[in-house]
Amino acid sequence: MSKQAYSFKICFCFKRIFKLREAEPPGDVKRLFEDYSKDGIMTIDDLLRFMVEFQKETDATKEDALAIFYSLRHLNIFQGKGLHLHAFFRYLLGDLNPPVPPSSKVHHSMSAPLSHYFMFTGHNSYLTGNQLSSDSSSAPIIKALKNNVRVIELDLWPNAGKDRVEVCHGGTLTSPVDLAKCLQAARDYAFVASDYPVVLTFEDHLTPFLQSKVAELVTKTFGAMLHRPETGPMAEFPSPDSLKRKILISTKPPKEYLEFQKSMEEENELDQEEQSAQQEQDENEGNVFPEYRHLISIHAGKPKGGVEGYLRIDPTRVRRLSLSEQELDSISGTYGPDIVRFSQRNLLRIYPKGLRFDSSNYNPFLGWAHGAQMVAVNMQGYGKFLWIMQGMFRGNGGCGYIRKPDLLMNPVDIFDPRKTLPPKTILKVTVYLGEGWHLDFRKTHFDKFSPPDFYARVGIAGVAADSIMKRTSAIEDEWIPSWNEEFEFQITVPELAVLRIEVLEYDTTGSPDFGGQTCLPVSELREGIRAVPLHSRKGERYRSVKLLMRFQFIPC
């Protein structure tokens, strides 16, 4: 090939890369505009009627329609009389038309005990990377709290001189960070994104002397923000509403105190006289290290007696039980309903198995389906399970607390996670088009000499019977792909389902290039045609990339 011909080819290829057309309204949008407009103009009253009737926003007001109208005034609106088709289309693709209720709108009842809520929970919240050799820092704690994480885990260890407390992943090469820095970060950022309570779980490897230093440091750092139980272990957890802007400590009581506690099965066998004697002994011996013990709002630990022992319910006190993902998976086949029953009153925390050295994660629905409130995930990396977690907690205004569905809280008909229920609803999803990649990515990011070949993956993450992914065809050489494809999903437990959305760029030479993702709680999806913003692998929202989609629910 001559030099001139080669230059011409390169020029032609780059013209193809930069060739852009404006997104065209899909046929459904054009038909809707015709139905809700007159003579090519959609008035404010017409727009409000569309919002109420088609978008199912039954509480929409004329002020809401006016806000949309004025947000589009930079477009060629007919002398203030109404919207033309292009302006209507831009509203549908705009930020005032989100797929879930706008953030900051907490709409779940928050007056039930903590055990009635899923809580956005982190694992080893101080690590910046992998579980073996990364640095420990207060920065990941700050980032987590800014993202509405409500449960922060700190591993407490003595320093080399045994005179100060450090936070690190013990038995590894991770560098330590001073406990004081972690506590200060929690104090300063706990309620930046949400007013609902933050729980600090301590994995305690300290001597009694250092426990007393922790008590002093925690008390000094948090002051009035610290929730202190007035008595010993609680008979019922307080509510998120009653704990607004409070920080709670959860850990095992000091060993010296536990030595004087009887296991629950032994307590239940004591007669009245023995119980009184035991209570007096607890009160006397429990004061060995009162400063540290009195910090603990949520008592943690595993009573003796195997699985039956640590799942036994004490009507006089509530507690937190921690299980690894492996432990839960191992016992769930036999004890599924017992785990659900336990978590109706008590807190259950699930954490990643120790072999996840790369800070990967497990399927959070394993815990959620058993009522586990604290499904702890590593937030240092990324991947579909972290995306699912982020998606679930986009619900309830993104406050970090999600009210558990009624089927997990029924004390009579205990939910059995092993059983497949009949379909409850059909979710119909239409993927119309996408736009914004040419603004958020380099023009040669996906292909050097041609526009990208995008396809979308859409599906449900949830209980086993509901989990499925489907995909569109690939649209070749388009920065603004138009798919116009429809999918249906039968869902048995929509309260525990998340809609997964990914866009990938087809690559014949290797694995697909990543083009964006998001996850949305099915229970909060708004019907109608919606603008769906996409996020990066790390969960950060892109400035411009979004999809136009339609959601419809059909009862079974």
Active site residue 445: no
Specify which residues 468 forms β-bridges with. 460
Residue with tokens 């036999």: 334
Report the interhelical angle of 44-53 vs 62-71 (nearest 10°): 120
DSSP string of 92-126? HTSTTS-SSPPTT---S---S-GGGEEE-EESSTT
Specify which residues 498 forms β-bridges with. 461, 521
Radius of gyration of the chain (CA): 27
DSSP string of 186-255? HHHHTTSS--S-EEEEEEE---HHHHHHHHHHHHHHHGGGB---SSSS-SSPPPTGGGTT-EEEEEPPPH
**Enclosing H/E stretch for 535:** strand 528-535
388 to 8, 178, 375, 465: CA distances (angstroms)? 47, 32, 12, 17
Read off φ and ψ for residue 264, nearest 5 degrees.
Answer: -65, -35
Specify which residues 124 forms β-bridges with. none
SS3 at position 264: helix
Tell me the residue length of the chain.
556
Under 8 Å between Cβ of 532 and 502? no
Query: By C-alpha distance, which of 190, 100, 117, 201 is closest to 149?
Result: 190
Among 84, 116, 123, 438, which one carries the catalytic annotation? 123
The CA angle 443-388-529, to the nearest 5 degrees, is 65
HEC sequence for 1-38 = CCHHHHHHHHHHHHHHHHCCCCCCCCHHHHHHHHHCCE
CB atoms within 10 A of CB 21: 8
Active site residue 169: yes
DSSP string of 37-101? -BTTBB-HHHHHHHHHHTS--TT--HHHHHHHHHHTTTS--STTS-B-HHHHHHHHTSTTS-SSP
Task: Measure the CA–CA gap between 410 and 525, rounded to whole angstroms.
Answer: 25
CB burial of 349-361 (b: ≥16 within 10 Å; e: otherwise) equals: bbbbeeebeebbb
Task: Measure the CA–CA gap between 10 and 510, rounded to whole angstroms.
Answer: 23
Among 116, 169, 299, 535, which one carries the catalytic annotation? 169
Tokens of 166: 């450090």
By CB atoms closer than 10 A (0-12, 13-18, 19+), residue 2 is exposed
- Kindly list the catalytic residues: 123, 169
